[in-house]
Amino acid sequence: MSKEKTQLKKSDRRESAPSNGKPKLKRAEYEAEMAKLHAELVEVQYSVKHSGARIVVVFEGRDAAGKGGVIKRITERVSPRVFRAVALPTPTDRERSQIYFQRYIERFPAAGEIVLFDRSWYNRPGVERVMGFCTDEQYERFLRLCPAWERDIIDSGITIIKYWFEVSEEEQTRRFTQRISDPRKTWKLSPMDLESHRRWYDYSRARDAMLAATDVSPWYIVKADNKRSARLNCISHPLSLIPHEKIDRKTIVLPHRQRRRGYEEPEYNYRFIKERY
């Protein structure tokens, strides 16, 4: 076995190690629990479409805390037309000239939709504040106006659920180190990630101020040192908040395939791909 493959296997074992003092969830147990949650998410999908509910779920937190992994597990078994994930890139020059909240409002749900924001308007009191990408005036204006803005959205009938993912200093360091050494994950390590590691306490102060000022729609904290537990805990939580009931659906019966009626496969030189596996 090559040195690289040996390193990857060791890395996989480290990633699943428990760090919260609780027994490690075995993969079979984890997948069984995840399957139950996926089934309930499908019921939520039917219920939201039926009721016309509009739901926004915000995922914020430390870099390398596992937000993207949770969003991936939420969306992998449901319709992207109902569960819509939004991860916006750096704003364009045009977007910078807009009202700050404008590009986020554009992605808000219509009736029967759930929008999952992987980072959100809370970039302003987070990375923008720490890295100096906004002025003090813009930052203070955000903290002053955001609660009223969110309250107005809630009053209009949209549900907002907000999560902050928290990891320990040691776990964040371990995950960043793993990204450096694992060729499958180097793309996940950006200059902003490196700065977030260096400026741990600047981000801590920014987090504290943000949580205190913007709790009008409650912030829920996800302990994320143990990825498997964090995913199960986080996915199960909105299921307890989003009203849903089992929708009666017609029993699905697979129809018989039509008769051949003389059809024959043409002798065409199909370009089949090489079967390497």
What is the rounded distance in angstroms from the CA atom of residue 16 to the CA atom of residue 228? 7
- Domain contains 98: yes
Total domains present in the chain: 1
- Domain contains 11: no
Q: Which domain holds residue 229?
A: 28-241
- Domain contains 94: yes
- Domain contains 113: yes
Q: Does residue 109 contact residue 55 with C-beta atoms inside 8 Å?
A: yes
- Domain contains 70: yes
Q: What is the CATH number of the domain that holds 131?
A: 3.40.50.300
pTM to 2 decimal places: 0.87
- Domain contains 276: no
Q: pLDDT, tens digit, for every residue of 79-111?
A: 999 999 999 999 999 999 999 999 999 999 999
- Domain contains 5: no
What token pair was written down for 181? Answer: 């050494």
Residue 105 has phi, psi (to 5 degrees) of -60, -35
Q: pLDDT, tens digit, for every residue of 34-79?
A: 999 999 999 999 999 999 999 999 999 999 999 999 999 999 999 9
Helices 227-241 and 67-75 cross at an angle (nearest 10°) of 60
What is the rounded distance in angstroms from the CA atom of residue 11 to the CA atom of residue 67? 20
Q: How many Å from the N-terminal Cα to the C-terminal Cα in the chain? A: 19
H or E element in which residue 174 lies: helix 169-181
What token pair was written down for 185? Answer: 């994950």
Q: pLDDT, tens digit, for every residue of 157-185?
A: 999 999 999 999 999 999 999 999 999 99
What pLDDT shows up at residue 5?
Answer: 42
Q: Does residue 111 contact residue 127 with C-beta atoms inside 8 Å?
A: no
